[in-house]
Amino acid sequence: MTTWTTARPAGARIAIAVLGLSLIGLAGCQGTIPIGKLLDDPSHYDHQTVRIRGTVGRSVGVLGYGAYQVNDGTGTLTVVTKEGGAPREGASVGVEGEFRSAFTLGTESVAVVIEKERMTR
């Protein structure tokens, strides 16, 4: 039995490589911590690198700096970025950054993530 193979043009190989790298980037969102868990025990995660993912709520960006809220269904957390501005409202994002707990008053915890890396989908 004869099998035929066709060589893929260089453009197709590049497109496949880019697609593969994109999928690896999205897989990098694995290992995320639910925002509700971060807010339930903020002192445990304070000054640690964490990964979250969710949908962007409010966002504001000026001259490359930005702040936006991410909601994953378990809670909402503000993300601060020093470069790249803020993503648009409604975007699905994965964020890696340093968790900073500001304070807890009663049942409310105030905290932010200082963005190191962002993946949008």
Judge whether residue 59 has pLDDT over 70. Answer: yes
| % of the chain residues with pLDDT over 70 | 75
CATH architecture of 32-120: Beta Barrel (2.40)
Backbone angles phi, psi at 70, to 5 degrees: -115, 130
For the chain, the average pLDDT equals 82
Q: Mapped to the 3 state alphabet, what secondary structure does 85-119 carry?
A: CCCCCCCEEEEEEEEEEEEEECCEEEEEEEEEEEE
pLDDT value of residue 71: 98
Judge whether residue 95 has pLDDT over 50. Answer: yes
| % of the chain residues with pLDDT over 90 | 61
